[in-house]
Amino acid sequence: MLEIKNLHAGIDDKNILNGINLSINAGEVHAIMGPNGSGKSTLSSVIAGNETYEVTEGDVLLDNKSLLELAPEERAHKGIFLSFQYPVEIPGVTTTNFIKTAINEKRKANGLEDLPAKDMLKLIREKSELLEMDRKFLSRSLNEGFSGGEKKRNEIFQMAMLEPKLAILDETDSGLDIDALKVVANGVNKLRSKDNAVVVITHYQRLLDYIVPDFVHVLHNGKIVKSGGKELALELEKKGYDWLK
């Protein structure tokens, strides 16, 4: 489904990604781990199309079509979802209004009519229950004054609403207490299917106890230095990253 080929990218002439190769198939969960500064967040930003980063070499393909020439919103319409490490606050715009706009824009891009208000409300109710979200958050300004955990839960709620093909969870576990972590992980697991894929970017293996990966990749200096199954995460937890360098 997603194919990353020899991807080089950087910011202001500074190279961060130095040739990443990765293949992700439908139905799979991949975990990308690595120490601070290894390029994990850059990778997710580049896939989502953040123009702060410049791609200097290589390609990213979704269903055999390159994503690199597409604007972030076009990538989103094709089913890329990034759960932000630091979700952005938008004062005055309610979560409901925001997600409604996002869904209808996606539908428009795919030649569909706006979702009728009734169906939208039903969907919102359903998905917010899945994430055990307090309904009052939905009518508050997006992420404004939300705690870290509430913001992350809101990200997964949006993911549930948008039903992406490929979801990238960037440090979704940071700032979550164990109960919130379980809820979020539970939400993600319920959304998994044979047609979609999930990339979990994390520093610790804690989240991987709840979202069990099929593959684990270790990123170091902008390259994947080791890949393996879920047991690799446990090994990393025990030994740290130093032995890989």
Partner 1 sequence: MNKFTEDDLKKELETKEYEYGFYTDIEADKFPVGLSEEVVIAISKKKNEPDWMTKWRLEAFKVWSEMKEPDWANVNYEKPKFQDISYYSAPVQKKKLDSLDEVDPELLKTFEKLGISIDEQKRLSNVAVDIVIDSVSVATTFKKTLNERGIIFMPISEAIQEHPELVKKYLGTIVPTTDNFYAALNSAVFSDGSFCYIPKGVTCPMELSTYFRINEGGTGQFERTLVIADKGSYVSYLEGCTAPARDENQLHAAVVELIALDDAEIKYSTVQNWFPGNKEGKGGIYNFVTKRGLCEKNAKISWTQVETGSAVTWKYPSCILKGDNSVGEFYSIAVTNNFQQADTGTKMIHLGNNTRSTIISKGVSAGKSQNSYRGLVQISPRAKNARNFSQCDSLLMGDQCGAHTFPYIECKNNSAQIEHEATTSKIGEDQLFYCNQRGIDTEKAIALIVNGFSKEVLNKLPMEFAVEAQKLLEISLEGSVG
Residues 6+ apart with CB under 8 A from 76: 48, 102, 106, 162, 164
For partner 1, which is the closer residue by CB, 2 or 236? 2
145 belongs to the binding site for partner 1 (CB under 8 A): no
| Contact of 152 with 83, CB cutoff 8 Å | yes
71 belongs to the binding site for partner 1 (CB under 8 A): yes
Helices of type H across the chain? 40-48, 72-77, 95-109, 117-130, 148-162, 178-191, 231-239
- Closest by CA to 38, choosing from 242, 207, 215, is 242
102 belongs to the binding site for partner 1 (CB under 8 A): yes
146 belongs to the binding site for partner 1 (CB under 8 A): no
154 belongs to the binding site for partner 1 (CB under 8 A): no
101 belongs to the binding site for partner 1 (CB under 8 A): yes
Q: Which of 109, 112, 121, 212 binds partner 1 (CB under 8 A)?
A: 109
Q: Which of 43, 133, 162, 208 binds partner 1 (CB under 8 A)?
A: 162
- The sheet that has 2-11: what strands, in order across it? 14-24, 2-11, 54-62, 65-66
Q: Which of 15, 19, 35, 141 binds partner 1 (CB under 8 A)?
A: 141
Q: Which of 13, 91, 113, 116 binds partner 1 (CB under 8 A)?
A: 91
At 221, list the tokens: 């200096």
The length of the chain in residues reads 245
130 belongs to the binding site for partner 1 (CB under 8 A): no
The binding site for partner 1 (CB under 8 A) comprises: 48-52, 69-73, 75-77, 80-82, 84, 87-93, 97-99, 101-102, 105-106, 109, 141-142, 158, 162
